[in-house]
Structure 1
Amino acid sequence: MPYIAVTALSHTGLIRDHNEDSLVVGPWTLCGTVTENPQTLLFPLGTPLVVAVADGIGGQPAGEVASALVVRQLASFGPSLDSEEAVRDALNACNDAVYAAADGNPELVAMGTTVAGAVVLAESLLAFNVGDSRVLDATGDGLRQVSVDDSPPLAPGRRTTSLVTQALGGARRFSAITPHVTTAPLSAGDRYLVCTDGLTDPVTEDALDSLLRVHNDGRAAFELWKAAIEAGGPDNITLAMVRIGE
């Protein structure tokens, strides 16, 4: 019977004093805490399964509150996420919820988060994002980014930027979003990496690709985390490996 294997972890990194990332895998959420080891969950292929990370915006209040709210919302939508339209509607509802939670609460004003993830359907995968967290296709020859970074143009000589051009929440007044959602066919053996920029900023795509050519599931997640730590671990690191088995 075809199945979905999801291996995930979330870690503070070496510089931050707390974790503002959150994670959702189906009905399971991990919010603002740390996994000591990669955790692997198995699900039957068929019912829509959402796998996503949310990265609270640094330098603004309550990033961990915003990211937790978003992944819990996505978990609650769960099996209803069966089309691109349903995913866009869910992300717009998440944006509404972040602003509603911040309304009238000085401690939460302008809190925001990025989000990126995938909904695994019986025969296809819906990749989505708002912000600069990423979804990467690790199936074929070479890693391929399927999400779209919401970031301003990079300065000469720069590979990364901490700035985002849209997020869920993140402003004092409501700002609408334009979610990125794409559909790809799905086959046994397909692999995807969903992660926050705590992985992709310090570790180059070539280095990620090299690790994923050698490792799978729990070992892959561990080696990716290790690479981010060895590169200085400058930010929270949250990732999920999605593999279609048979």
Structure 2
Amino acid sequence: MVTAMRSVTGPYRGTNQDSVGCSGSYVFVADGVGGHAGGDVASWTITHRLMSALSPVGRRPLDAEHLRELIAVANADLSLRVRAEPELRGMATTFTGLFCGEGTMTIAHIGDSRAYLVRDGQLRRMTRDDSLVQALVDAGVIDEAEAQHHPRRNVIMRSLAGSATDAQEMTLLTVPTQVGDRWLVASDGLTDYVTEDELGGLLAGGDVEVAADRLLAAAEAADSRDNVSLAVSDVVATADLADAPYRYLGAAASPTRGAVADLSR
């Protein structure tokens, strides 16, 4: 995959609690849960620990249950960190990732970050929010338009928080993918402020860098009040991209961790 990433703190937040990571075969967004101490620590940990666990896999096929196990190992590090620093108790993160195989894409998802697929000009949401508002939509209490502006739209029901059961609650889905598909993964700092109709238009045409710039500009124009993180990935035929170096943005970008502190043990 060819991927362009963006992650900004935004004018309303003091720190960026989102982490974005990618290689030639993987891309993911982790949004540290707002209002909890250590959201940036949680997203940093999941992003880096998972990328490290994926390194030995290389180009070998990665089935969904193996991926679940790797995410569980990364998630376990959150509980280890809390034991060492009890003030971080309650930290958690969403996680939405794409894992490209031979003609397939495996989506791993928990929380309210999202994945979208654009194929033949049509935008399709590939994840379901693990959120209170989504539960209200499913129950017919509110519709999608009301959900976009609901005052409790940021309340999530599931996340990665270091519990042994977290990874089992993740949604893993493997779907066919093909050259020419365009994928988006994004935090709610984008999707809460830019409608899906707008997303479809912004993702149409141009290369991934152009599309990523459009999306970020749209979130900023909509006065997003959250960190905004996103990655746009095109599926291409070049196999050499599978060996592309890891890249990080947001909280994950700082090797010294800054506000995230030193996670090395």
Of residues 187, 198, 202 in structure 1, which corresponds to 2:193? 202
User: 2:5 touches 2:229 (CA, 8 Å); kept in 1?
Assistant: yes
Residue identity over aligned pairs, in percent, reads 32
User: 1:199 touches 1:238 (CA, 8 Å); kept in 2?
Assistant: yes
Query: Normalization by structure 2: what TM-score?
Result: 0.78
Q: Which deviates further from its counterpart, 125-134 or 70-79?
A: 70-79
Task: Decide which structure has greater strand share.
Answer: 1
Matches of 2:128 and 2:107, distance apart in 1: 10
Q: Which deviates further from its counterpart, 159-168 or 234-243?
A: 159-168
Residue in structure 2 matched with residue 164 of structure 1 by the alignment: 156
Task: Give CA-to-partner distance per residue, 1:165-216, whole Å, 9 cap, x none.
Answer: 110117xxx4622111111112110110011111100111111011112443
Unaligned runs of 5+ in 1: 27-42, 44-48
Of residues 84, 95, 98 in structure 1, which corresponds to 2:78? 98
Matches of 2:191 and 2:220, distance apart in 1: 12
Q: Residues 47-66 of structure 1: matches in 2 within 5 Å?
A: 49-66=25-42
Secondary structure of 2:189 counterpart:
helix
Of residues 56, 70, 74 in structure 1, which corresponds to 2:46? 70
Q: Which deviates further from its counterpart, 197-206 or 80-89?
A: 80-89
Matches of 1:8 and 1:104, distance apart in 2: 32
Give the aligned residue type for 2:224: G
Matches of 1:98 and 1:147, distance apart in 2: 24
Matches of 1:200 and 1:182, distance apart in 2: 21
Task: Give CA-to-partner distance per residue, 1:59-78, whole Å, 9 cap, x none.
Answer: 01010000000000111122
Q: Which deviates further from its counterpart, 197-206 or 97-106?
A: 97-106
Of residues 109, 112, 122 in structure 1, which corresponds to 2:92? 112
Matches of 2:173 and 2:94, distance apart in 1: 17
Give the aligned residue type for 1:110: G
Q: CA deviation at 1:148?
A: 2.2
Task: Give CA-to-partner distance per residue, 1:89-139, whole Å, 9 cap, x none.
Answer: 122222222122112523211111001010011221111111111111112
- What is the count of residue pairs matched by the alignment? 219
Matches of 2:147 and 2:187, distance apart in 1: 18
User: 1:139 touches 1:190 (CA, 8 Å); kept in 2?
Assistant: yes
Matches of 2:8 and 2:42, distance apart in 1: 17
User: 2:204 touches 2:211 (CA, 8 Å); kept in 1?
Assistant: no
User: 1:14 touches 1:229 (CA, 8 Å); kept in 2?
Assistant: no
Q: Residues 173-188 of structure 1: matches in 2 within 5 Å?
A: 174=163, 176-177=165-166, 178-188=169-179
Give the aligned residue type for 1:62: G
Matches of 2:17 and 2:85, distance apart in 1: 19
Residue in structure 2 matched with residue 237 of structure 1 by the alignment: 228
Residue in structure 2 matched with residue 123 of structure 1 by the alignment: 103
Matches of 2:131 and 2:120, distance apart in 1: 26
User: 1:91 touches 1:179 (CA, 8 Å); kept in 2?
Assistant: no
Query: Normalization by structure 1: what TM-score?
Result: 0.84
Task: Give CA-to-partner distance per residue, 1:200-239, whole Å, 9 cap, x none.
Answer: 0011111101111244310100000000000002111111
Residue in structure 2 matched with residue 143 of structure 1 by the alignment: 123
User: 1:50 touches 1:78 (CA, 8 Å); kept in 2?
Assistant: no
Secondary structure of 1:10 counterpart:
strand
Secondary structure of 2:147 counterpart:
coil
Task: Decide which structure has greater helix share.
Answer: 2
Secondary structure of 1:165 counterpart:
coil
